[in-house]
C-alpha cells in the first residue's frame, strides 16, 4: 500500500496510506499534547479542551457538529491520553471532504463562556464517576506514586479542585500554546486519493499558527522500589499494581518488552494466568507494556478477595523473580509472538486501525512502518533479546501499590483516600 507524507509551510504534518481495495477511509488529527504537558494549575485542561472542541465554532453550534457528522454517516470521536489528544472520523470515501471540513473547523473552537461553564459540570461529574470505579482509581493513584515528580504521573482528568478553579482564559492560553500547526499530525488511511487530500488540508489549515512547542522531561524514568497501601473501605476487592521501568517508544527493545508482557500476563495462557487466575487465587492478573515519549512502563495488575492479597503478592513476586532470573521458554516466546502477530494483523485490517497505527508510529518516531515491517520486528524477537531487555529493565524492581478495603498490608498502614 503506497505511503505518502507532506508538510505544510506552517509545520502541519500530513501522512497517508492509500488502499484502493478498502471500502472506507479514516482521518485523524493527532495533537501531541496531553496531561504530561500541563502545568499544575491547569491539570485536566487537555481532556476538558477535547470536550470543548465539540461544543462549536464560529460556523457551527454543538448541534450542528453532531448533525453534520451524522449526515455523512461518520463514525467519529476523540480521546485524550498523557501524551496525545486525537480527533478522528471514519467515513465512506465520497464523504472525506465533508469529514475534513468538520474536523478542521472544530479544531479551531470558539470556547464560548456559556459552553465552558456547562461543560465544566460534565467534567466534574466524570471525575466523580471514575472515582467510583476502583480499577480506575488503582491505576491512576499507582501511576502518580510511581512517577512521583515526572509529568507522566499527571492525571488525565485532573481533580475536582483543579477543574473547578480552571478558567476559560487558562484554556485559551493552553490551546494557543499546544494546538500549533507544527504540533499536529494529520493521518489518513483507506480508499482516498492523496493529492486531493493534501489540497483539502492545505485549504483548511494553511492559516493555522506555527509556535515554539516543546515537552519537558523526555528522559527515561525509573521509579523507586517501594510498597504503598491505599485504603477505601467501600471497595469490595483489593487491587495490586506492580510497576517497573520499560523501554521508550524509540527503543529496539520495545518489541521484546511487548512480547514478554504477553508471555507474562496475557488474559489466558500466561505465567500470571496459570499461577493466579486458573487456580482461583485471583479474579484477574495481567501485564501491560506502555511505551511513552522518552520512557516506558510495565504494569502488572491483580484483583482478588482481600484475604488473598498477601499470598497473591508473594505468588506474583515469585513469578516476576523467576522470569527475571531465568527468562521464558522457547514455547512461551513463540506463543507470545503469535499473539502479537495476530494482534497487529487484526488491528490493521481496517482503515481506522491502520490510520491509528501509522499516526502513532510517526508521532513517536517520525517513521513509517508498514504491516510487514512491524510483523518482521516481532518475528525477529529472540530469547537473547528477552534477556537483553530484562538486564536493561528488571521486572522485579517494582513500585507496588495495594488499593482496597485493607487498612494494613504486610505491616504497612493504609493511607485513606
What is the DSSP-derived secondary structure letter of residue 225?
A: P
User: Region 276-281: what's the mean pLDDT?
Assistant: 98
User: pLDDT per residue over 164-220, tens digit each?
Assistant: 999 999 999 999 999 999 999 999 999 999 999 999 999 999 999 999 998 988 989
Question: Which residues have C-beta within 8 Å of that of residue 51, sequence separation ≥ 6?
Answer: 119, 122, 123
- What's the pLDDT tens digit per position in 221-258? 999 899 999 999 999 999 999 999 999 999 999 999 99
Q: What percent of the chain has pLDDT over 70?
A: 100
* pLDDT tens readout for residues 375-417: 999 999 999 999 999 999 999 988 999 999 999 999 999 999 9
Of the pLDDT bands very low, low, confident and very high (cuts 50, 70, 90), residue 268 is confident
391 is catalytic: no
Query: How much is the pTM?
Result: 0.94
> Which three-class secondary structure state does DSSP give residue 9?
coil
Position 304 pLDDT exceeds 90: yes
Beta bridge partners of 229: 402
Report the alpha-carbon distance of residue 230 to residue 403 in Å, rounded: 5
Predicted confidence (pLDDT) per residue in 8-46, tens digit: 999 999 999 999 999 999 999 999 999 999 999 999 999
Buried b (16+ CB within 10 A) or exposed e, 269-295: ebbbbebbbeeebbebbbbbbbbbbbb
Query: For 159-196, b where at least 16 C-beta lie within 10 A, e where not — what string?
Result: eeebbeebeeeebeebbeebbbbbbbbbbbbbbbebee
Under the banding of pLDDT at 50, 70 and 90, the label for residue 345 is: very high
Asked if residues 190 and 25 have their Cβ atoms less than 8 Å apart, the reply is yes
Active-site residue among 38, 83, 119, 238? 119
Q: Give me the residue label for grid cell 512502563.
A: 297
- Residue of 17, 38, 50, 238 with catalytic role: 50
Compute the half-sphere exposure of residue 191: CA atoms within 13 Å on the CB side of its CA. Answer: 11
Domains and CATH numbers, the chain: 3-205 (3.30.830.10), 226-416 (3.30.830.10)
- Catalytic status, residue 415: no
Amino acid at each position: 500500500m503506497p505511503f505518502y507524507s507532506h508538510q505544510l509551510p506552517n509545520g502541519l504534518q500530513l501522512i497517508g496510506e492509500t488502499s484502493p481495495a478498502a471500502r472506507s477511509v479514516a482521518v485523524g488529527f493527532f495533537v501531541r499534547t496531553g496531561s504530561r504537558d500541563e502545568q499544575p494549575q491547569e491539570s485536566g485542561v487537555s481532556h476538558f479542551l477535547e470536550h470543548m472542541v465539540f461544543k462549536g465554532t464560529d460556523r457551527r453550534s454543538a448541534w450542528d457538529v453532531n448533525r453534520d457528522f451524522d449526515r455523512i454517516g461518520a463514525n467519529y470521536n476523540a480521546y485524550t491520553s498523557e501524551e496525545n489528544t486525537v480527533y478522528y472520523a471514519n467515513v465512506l470515501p465520497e464523504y472525506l471532504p465533508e469529514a475534513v471540513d468538520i474536523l478542521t473547523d472544530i479544531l479551531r473552537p470558539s470556547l464560548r463562556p456559556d459552553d465552558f461553564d456547562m461543560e465544566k459540570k460534565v467534567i466534574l461529574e466524570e471525575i466523580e464517576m471514575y472515582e467510583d470505579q476502583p480499577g480506575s482509581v488503582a491505576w491512576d493513584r499507582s501511576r502518580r506514586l510511581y512517577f512521583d515528580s515526572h509529568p507522566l504521573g499527571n492525571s488525565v482528568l485532573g481533580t475536582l479542585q483543579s477543574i473547578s478553579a480552571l478558567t476559560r482564559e487558562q484554556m485559551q492560553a493552553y490551546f494557543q500554546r499546544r494546538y500549533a500547526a507544527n504540533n499536529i499530525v494529520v493521518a489518513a488511511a483507506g480508499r482516498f486519493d492523496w493529492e486531493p487530500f493534501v489540497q483539502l488540508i492545505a485549504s483548511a489549515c494553511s492559516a493555522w499558527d506555527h509556535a515554539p512547542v516543546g515537552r519537558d522531561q523526555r528522559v527515561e524514568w525509573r521509579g523507586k522500589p517501594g510498597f504503598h497501601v491505599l485504603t477505601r473501605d467501600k471497595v469490595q476487592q483489593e487491587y495490586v499494581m506492580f510497576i517497573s521501568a520499560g523501554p521508550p517508544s524509540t527503543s529496539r527493545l520495545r518489541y521484546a518488552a511487548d512480547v514478554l508482557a504477553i508471555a507474562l500476563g496475557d488474559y489466558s495462557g500466561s505465567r500470571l494466568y496459570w499461577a493466579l487466575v486458573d487456580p482461583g487465587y485471583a479474579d484477574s492478573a495481567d501485564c501491560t507494556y506502555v511505551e511513552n515519549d522518552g520512557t516506558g512502563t510495565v504494569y502488572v495488575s491483580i484483583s482478588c478477595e482481600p484475604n488473598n492479597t498477601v499470598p497473591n503478592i508473594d505468588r506474583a513476586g515469585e513469578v516476576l523473580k523467576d522470569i527475571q532470573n531465568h527468562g521464558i521458554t522457547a514455547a512461551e516466546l513463540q506463543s507470545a509472538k503469535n499473539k502479537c502477530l495476530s494482534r497487529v494483523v487484526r488491528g490493521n485490517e481496517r482503515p481506522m486501525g491502520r490510520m491509528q497505527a501509522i499516526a502513532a508510529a510517526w508521532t513517536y518516531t517520525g517513521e513509517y512502518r508498514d504491516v510487514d515491517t512491524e510483523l518482521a520486528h516481532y518475528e525477529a524477537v529472540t530469547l537473547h533479546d528477552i534477556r537483553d531487555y530484562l538486564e536493561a529493565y528488571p521486572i522485579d524492581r517494582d513500585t507496588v501499590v495495594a488499593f482496597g478495603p485493607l487498612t494494613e498490608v504486610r505491616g504497612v498502614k493504609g493511607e485513606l483516600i
